[in-house]
Amino acid sequence: MYEAGVSLGGGSLRGAAHIGALQEMIQQNYFITHIAGTSAGALIGGLFACGIQPNQMGEILESLSIRKHMDFSLNRKGFLKGERIYQTLLKLTDGRHFSDLEIPFSVVCVDLNSRKAEIINEGEVARALRASIAIPGIFSPVEMGDKLLADGYIINNNPADVVKKMGADRVIAIRVLSSKSQSRTPGNAITCVSRYMDIASHINTDQLLENYADTIIDIDLVNVGRFKPKLIPDIIERGRMAARKALSDEVFRAKKPVERVI
């Protein structure tokens, strides 16, 4: 059995690719020692840490669509209140707290008050997941004490550094890419904002991955949009195939497997 901590990046529904990568890791006899995630990566990582197996996650992710959780906000901090999706997350995680999890897990957000990254690893898992998927302008940010928390995508979209600091000896970072669509000129306001956020996110995240990730699984989702639920099965399969290719690296696999008594 091979031990590794895993960092999972954001990508909206394209984050379904993490499901396939986790499936392949399990298939190849990897034991995941630690998990940290941002946005969609936090969601998938949190479900896994709560004991939900990857082969169950595809349908769950489809059920979490924004369309099914419309609850319009009047506080002007976001288009949606996010209470409906929080209640769904509460049921999926069975109300667990971080202290209830067998796998150490951390969630990355950004605190809009301090303008700094906020790492959540205590308290209620569902509340942390709700904060990490709070895309500014769509979901209202989450208040925790004196903090106002939102999606951590722009500041650390693949927290390999967090996984390393949690105590993982080896860190596998799973990264969602969309190369061709990123090379095109943005065609509307939404794609302009998306590109603007991507530039800042990549500068911050790529440096952290270079310093802290032992292996990076790049999943290239060419021309796959962020919000296309019908493509989830294909996205999962692409994640699985990308992981299979990356984990077949002889140099990486040459490290001695760990004997575990389960």
More confident residue, 149 or 76: 149
For residues 25 and 3, what is the distance between their CA atoms, to the nearest angstrom? 10
- Residue whose entry in the numeric block shows the structure tokens 């809009």: 112
Residue 153 pLDDT class (50, 70, 90 cuts): confident
Please state, for a pLDDT cut of 90, what percent of the chain lies above it: 56
Give pLDDT, residue 226.
Answer: 57
Query: What is the SS3 string spanning 157-199?
Result: CCCHHHHHHHCCCCEEEEEEECHHHHHCCCCCHHHHHHHHHHH
The structure's pTM equals 0.85
* Arithmetic mean of pLDDT, 206-230: 81
The mean-pLDDT minimum among 57-66, 142-151, 251-260 falls in: 251-260
Give pLDDT, residue 139.
Answer: 80
The mean-pLDDT minimum among 8-17, 224-233, 251-260 falls in: 251-260
Give pLDDT, residue 125.
Answer: 98
What does pLDDT average to over the chain?
Answer: 84
Give pLDDT, residue 76.
Answer: 62
For residues 5 and 167, what is the distance between their CA atoms, to the nearest angstrom? 8
In terms of Cα–Cα distance, which of 169, 215, 150 is closest to 10?
150
pLDDT over threshold 90, residue 169? yes
Number of DSSP helices (H) and strands (E) in the chain, helices first: 10, 10
| Residue 260 exposed, middle or buried by CB count within 10 Å (0-12, 13-18, 19+) | exposed
* Arithmetic mean of pLDDT, 226-231: 67
* Arithmetic mean of pLDDT, 169-180: 84
More confident residue, 201 or 100: 100
Residue 138 pLDDT class (50, 70, 90 cuts): confident
Asked if residue 132 lies in contact with residue 38, where contact means CB atoms within 8 angstroms, the answer is yes
Which token pair is 183?
């090379």
* Arithmetic mean of pLDDT, 128-144: 88
For residues 30 and 90, what is the distance between their CA atoms, to the nearest angstrom? 28
pLDDT digit string, tens, across residues 68-78? 655 556 566 65
Residue 51 pLDDT class (50, 70, 90 cuts): very high
pLDDT over threshold 90, residue 81? no
Strands 147-151 and 142-144: antiparallel
Asked if residue 168 lies in contact with residue 212, where contact means CB atoms within 8 angstroms, the answer is no
pLDDT digit string, tens, across residues 26-43? 999 999 999 999 999 999
In terms of Cα–Cα distance, which of 103, 138, 111, 110 is closest to 30?
103
Asked if residue 159 lies in contact with residue 212, where contact means CB atoms within 8 angstroms, the answer is no
Which token pair is 135?
């895309």
Asked if residue 159 lies in contact with residue 38, where contact means CB atoms within 8 angstroms, the answer is yes
Give pLDDT, residue 30.
Answer: 95
* Arithmetic mean of pLDDT, 170-176: 95
pLDDT over threshold 80, residue 182? no
